[in-house]
C-alpha cells in the first residue's frame, strides 16, 4: 500500500511530482460524506487530503494521484478550480514550464508539421470558450454491485468548468489534413515510471476531432489551468468522458490508420451493444466491444443525505445537478414517494448543453416513518436514467435513478 510518506518521496528517481503540503485540516476533513454503496475499504481510506493548490479532496490513491471532489462543491453548477477532481493513470507527473512548452502537430495524414508555443497558440488562432463537464469514465465505479476492479470512485470524479482555448479543427486546418485521415492521436507530457508500463495515449475519430466543441484549452474558469488539471494546455472533448481529455498535451498525430495502444484496447471499452444510443467510434469498434465515448444522462442530489431526519410538515428541499453528453437536459423528475408519483423539478440557468444543469423541487414531509425520494434526469432526446444498473466489467456508465431514504418524525 502506498502511504502518504511514500507519496511525498516520489519526486525522486526522475519523477517530478510536487510534494503534498503538510496537512492541517479541520476535524471534519477526516470523515467526508461518501455513498454507502462503496466498498468498506474504500470508505475507510477515502479521507480528505490536500494537494498543493487544492482544497481538501477525497483521496482514492496516492500513486498515481487520484482525488475526488466532495459533494458539497457541486451545489453550484461551476466547480471551482481548487476543488476540481484529480485523475492520473501514470505516476510520472510533469512540472511543465509554460515558457518551454510546445505542441507538435504532425502525422502521416497531415499535410505538414506544425510546432506551437503557448504565445503563438493564443496569438495565431481565434479563442473559443465553452462550459463543459469533465467526468472520469469510471465515475461511480465503486457503486457497482458486484464490485469491479479499478479506482473505486464515488460520485465526485467529475467537475464542470468554463474552458477557454483554441478549436482543434482550426489547428488542424493550419497544418492541413489529407483525405486519408481517420483518427487523431494525442500524447501528454506525463509518462510511465517503468519502461514496461504503456504510455497514456488516446485517439479520437476525425468527426469528433473536427467538432466545433473540441479544443486545446489553456484557461479554466478564467485562470490558467491548475497543475493537477493539465497545465499549461489540455485537450477538452465536451460530451465525451474524461479519458480523452489529454492533460499536459504535447503531441497531436493525424493518422491514416487506427491508433493501437493499451489505453484504446483493451482499456476503456464497453461490451458492444450494451448501452443504447451512445456515440460510435467506427475505426476502433469490433464484434465484442467498443470504446467508451459520450456521457450518459445522469443527476446528483446535493441537498440530501441518506437517513436525514425531517419533522412532519417540514419542507424537504431536493436540489442538485443534471447533465449528459451534450444533448441537453429537458427535465428532472422527482418522486417523494418511492416512484409512485413523479413531479417536474424547476431547472436552473442553462449554461449550455455540455454543462451541469441545476434543479430544485420542494415538498412537505407528511407521513411519519421512512420515505424514499427518487430523482431522474431526462435529456432532449428522451434518454433517462435507468432503474437498475447496466452492469459491465469496467464499472462504466452508472446512471441508476437516485434513491435517498429520509426519516419523517
- Residue 226, by phi and psi: left (phi above 0), alpha (psi -120 to 50) or beta? beta
pTM: 0.92
Q: Are residues 136 and 261 in the same domain?
A: yes
Written as tens digits, the pLDDT of the chain (409 aa) is: 333 333 333 333 333 333 333 334 443 456 689 999 999 999 999 999 999 999 999 999 999 999 999 999 999 999 999 999 999 999 999 999 999 999 999 999 999 999 999 999 999 999 999 999 999 999 999 999 999 999 999 999 999 999 999 999 999 999 999 999 999 999 999 998 888 899 999 999 999 999 999 999 999 999 999 999 999 999 999 999 999 999 999 999 999 999 999 999 999 999 999 999 999 999 999 999 999 999 999 999 999 999 999 999 999 999 999 999 999 999 999 999 999 999 999 999 999 999 999 999 999 999 999 999 999 999 999 999 999 999 999 999 999 999 999 999 9
Q: Are residues 218 and 358 in the same domain?
A: no
The residues near 93 (Cβ < 8 Å, ≥ 6 apart) are: 15, 16, 17, 18, 64, 65, 190
User: CB–CB of 25/56 below 8 Å?
Assistant: yes
Number of H helices, E strands in the chain: 5, 25
**124 lies in a domain?**
yes
Pairing relation of β-strands 249-255 and 215-220?
unpaired
Host domain of residue 168: 102-291
Q: Are residues 195 and 70 in the same domain?
A: no
Q: Are residues 275 and 127 in the same domain?
A: yes
**357 lies in a domain?**
yes
Q: Are residues 269 and 334 in the same domain?
A: no
**Strand, helix or coil at 305?**
coil
- Report the CATH number at residue 302: 2.60.40.650
Number of neighbouring beta carbons within 10 Å of residue 27: 6
Q: Are residues 44 and 124 in the same domain?
A: no
**Strand, helix or coil at 211?**
coil
HSE, CB side, 13 Å, CA atoms: give it for residue 184: 29
- Tally the residues of the chain: 409
**83 lies in a domain?**
no
**90 lies in a domain?**
no
Q: Are residues 334 and 238 in the same domain?
A: no
- Total domains, the chain: 3
Q: Which residue has the cell 449550455?
A: 352
**Strand, helix or coil at 73?**
helix
**140 lies in a domain?**
yes
**Separation of first and last alpha carbons in the chain:** 44
Q: Which of 161, 213, 160 is nearest to 321 (CA)?
A: 160
- Report the CATH number at residue 229: 3.90.420.10
**86 lies in a domain?**
no
User: Which domain-ending residue is among 77, 92, 114?
Assistant: 77
CA distance 276 to 146: 22
CA distance 348 to 357: 6
**96 lies in a domain?**
no
DSSP letter at 67 equals E
Q: Are residues 196 and 111 in the same domain?
A: yes
User: Which domain-ending residue is among 243, 272, 291?
Assistant: 291
Q: Are residues 58 and 206 in the same domain?
A: no
Q: Are residues 284 and 148 in the same domain?
A: yes
Q: Are residues 253 and 390 in the same domain?
A: no
CA distance 111 to 187: 20
Amino acid at each position: 500500500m502506498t502511504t502518504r510518506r511514500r507519496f511525498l518521496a516520489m519526486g525522486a528517481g526522475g519523477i517530478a511530482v510536487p510534494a503534498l503540503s503538510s496537512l492541517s485540516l479541520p476535524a471534519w476533513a477526516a470523515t467526508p460524506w461518501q455513498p454507502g454503496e462503496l466498498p468498506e475499504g474504500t470508505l475507510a481510506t477515502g479521507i480528505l487530503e490536500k494537494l498543493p493548490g487544492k482544497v481538501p479532496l477525497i483521496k482514492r490513491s496516492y500513486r498515481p494521484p487520484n482525488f475526488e471532489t466532495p459533494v458539497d462543491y457541486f451545489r453550484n453548477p461551476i466547480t471551482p478550480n481548487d476543488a476540481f477532481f484529480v485523475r492520473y493513470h501514470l505516476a510520472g507527473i510533469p512540472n511543465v514550464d509554460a515558457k518551454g512548452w510546445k505542441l507538435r502537430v504532425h502525422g502521416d495524414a497531415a499535410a505538414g508539421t506544425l510546432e506551437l508555443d503557448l504565445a503563438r497558440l493564443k496569438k495565431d488562432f481565434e479563442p473559443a470558450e465553452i462550459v463543459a463537464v469533465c467526468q472520469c469514465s469510471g465515475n461511480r465505479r465503486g457503486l457497482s454491485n458486484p464490485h469491479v476492479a479499478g479506482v473505486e470512485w464515488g460520485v465526485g470524479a467529475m467537475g464542470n468548468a468554463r474552458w477557454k482555448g483554441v478549436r482543434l479543427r482550426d489547428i488542424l486546418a493550419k497544418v492541413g489534413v489529407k483525405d486519408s485521415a481517420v483518427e487523431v492521436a494525442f500524447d501528454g507530457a506525463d509518462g510511465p515510471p517503468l519502461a514496461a508500463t504503456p504510455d497514456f495515449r488516446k485517439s479520437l475519430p476525425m468527426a469528433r476531432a473536427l467538432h466545433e466543441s473540441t479544443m486545446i484549452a489553456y484557461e479554466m474558469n478564467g485562470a490558467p489551468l491548475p497543475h493537477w488539471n493539465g497545465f499549461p494546455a489540455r485537450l477538452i472533448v465536451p460530451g465525451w468522458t474524461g479519458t480523452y481529455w489529454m492533460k499536459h498535451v504535447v503531441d497531436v498525430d493525424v493518422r491514416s490508420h487506427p491508433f493501437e495502444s493499451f489505453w484504446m484496447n483493451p482499456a476503456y471499452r464497453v461490451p458492444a451493444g450494451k448501452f443504447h444510443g451512445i456515440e460510435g467510434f467506427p475505426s476502433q469498434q469490433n464484434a465484442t466491444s467498443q470504446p467508451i465515448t459520450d456521457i450518459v444522462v445522469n443527476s446528483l442530489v446535493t441537498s440530501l443525505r441518506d437517513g436525514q431526519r425531517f419533522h412532519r410538515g417540514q419542507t424537504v428541499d431536493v436540489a442538485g445537478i443534471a447533465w449528459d453528453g451534450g444533448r441537453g437536459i429537458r427535465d428532472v423528475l422527482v418522486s417523494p414517494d418511492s416512484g409512485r408519483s413523479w413531479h417536474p423539478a424547476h431547472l436552473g440557468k442553462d449554461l449550455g448543453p455540455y454543462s451541469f444543469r441545476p434543479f430544485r423541487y420542494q415538498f412537505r414531509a407528511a407521513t411519519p416513518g421512512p420515505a424514499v425520494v427518487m430523482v431522474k434526469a431526462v435529456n432532449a432526446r428522451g434518454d433517462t436514467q435507468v432503474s437498475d444498473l447496466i452492469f459491465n466489467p469496467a464499472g462504466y456508465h452508472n446512471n441508476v435513478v437516485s434513491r435517498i431514504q429520509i426519516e419523517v418524525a
